[in-house]
Every structure is written in C-alpha cells, then in structure tokens.
Amino acid sequence: MTTSNGLSNNTVRHIYQDSKGFIWFSTLNGLNRYDGNTFRTFLPDSIGELPSLADGRVKSVCEDNHGFLWISTSIDRFSCYDLKRDCFVDYTGCEAFKEQYAYITLLSDAVWLWGRGKGCRRVCYKNDRFYSDVFCLENGTLDTNAVSFIVKSK
C-alpha cells in the first residue's frame, strides 16, 4: 500500500486492526482507515473548535473496551474516535480535549492519560457519556505532577 493506492503518506508509523475489521494506518500526514478496498483519510480540523484529529503526525492507535479508538499524535495530544457513531468525540466530558498528554494506559474500567509534567487524567465512559478527573499537584490530588507510569493494583 502506498500513496498511489490512496494512503495519505508513505511513512507509516503504526498499523492497527479495530474490532469492526478496519485497518488503521498512522502516518506523518494523517490517519487512514482501510476497509479492504478504499482508504478514508482523517486530517486535523483547521478551525479546531470541535473534536477532530489533534495533529496530522499520528503515532499510534489503540481501542478501548467501549469501541473508542485512542489516537496518539506527535504534539502529545490524544484524539478519540467513536467507531459506532463514526466521529471524533470529546473524551473529557468538559471540552478539555486539547490538553497535552504523552502516554495512555487502557484498563477495563478507565483510560488514563499522563505525561508532560501535568499529572494525569482518568477518563470513564458510563451511561453513554464521558467523565474525567484530573489528578495533579495544583488540585491537591497528587504530591507531584511527574507521573512516570500507571498500573492497576490488585
């Protein structure tokens, strides 16, 4: 597969197959979804008011238990794509989707984002809505904003 087949860039960083069978290609010029015949390319919204692909330089894609794709970009911002509704969504529930986080941990009950010395954000999806909490030094929920990793304890 190359740009002559419809791929938006020949530099592919990551390939992922989602639960619906689509193949996603993370490239240096957008996110590409392949259905077995054609490509659909996702690029950032130049206006930036609504959730969209955060940056055209996509690093990786993963899927959570609710059928949402989590897209990591080079500017350390995540985008969240709803496979059921076929659109990008505000995963914070409070229009803070432009916050920068470098890393992600997918757990069965939550998605955790952290990095860049900003503490971390827990994202939950319940009753068809996103909710999120920020844990950081500034709000007294952490002793430091330097989060190195997140794991679920038993």
Q: What is the pLDDT of residue 90?
A: 96
Model confidence pLDDT, tens digit, residues 28-40: 999 999 999 999 9
Supply 5's token pair. Answer: 């087949």
Please compute the mean of the pLDDT values over residues 55-65 and round it to a whole number: 97
Please compute the mean of the pLDDT values over residues 7-20 and round it to a whole number: 96
Tell which phi-psi region holds residue 116, choosing left (phi > 0), alpha (psi between -120 and 50) or beta: left
Q: What is the pLDDT of residue 104?
A: 96
Q: What is the pLDDT of residue 4?
A: 92
**pTM score, two decimals?**
0.93
pLDDT band at 48 (very low <50, low <70, confident <90, very high): low
Which of 43-47, 74-78, 145-149 has the weakest average pLDDT? 43-47
Name which of 117, 129, 46, 65 is nearest 92 in CA terms: 129
Beta partners for 57? Answer: none
Whether the per-residue pLDDT at 49 is higher than 80: the answer is: no
Please compute the mean of the pLDDT values over residues 128-137 and round it to a whole number: 96
**Integer angstrom CA distances of residue 19 from 16, 22, 68, 84:** 10, 8, 10, 11
| Cβ-contact 1, 38 below 8 angstroms | no
Q: What is the pLDDT of residue 78?
A: 96
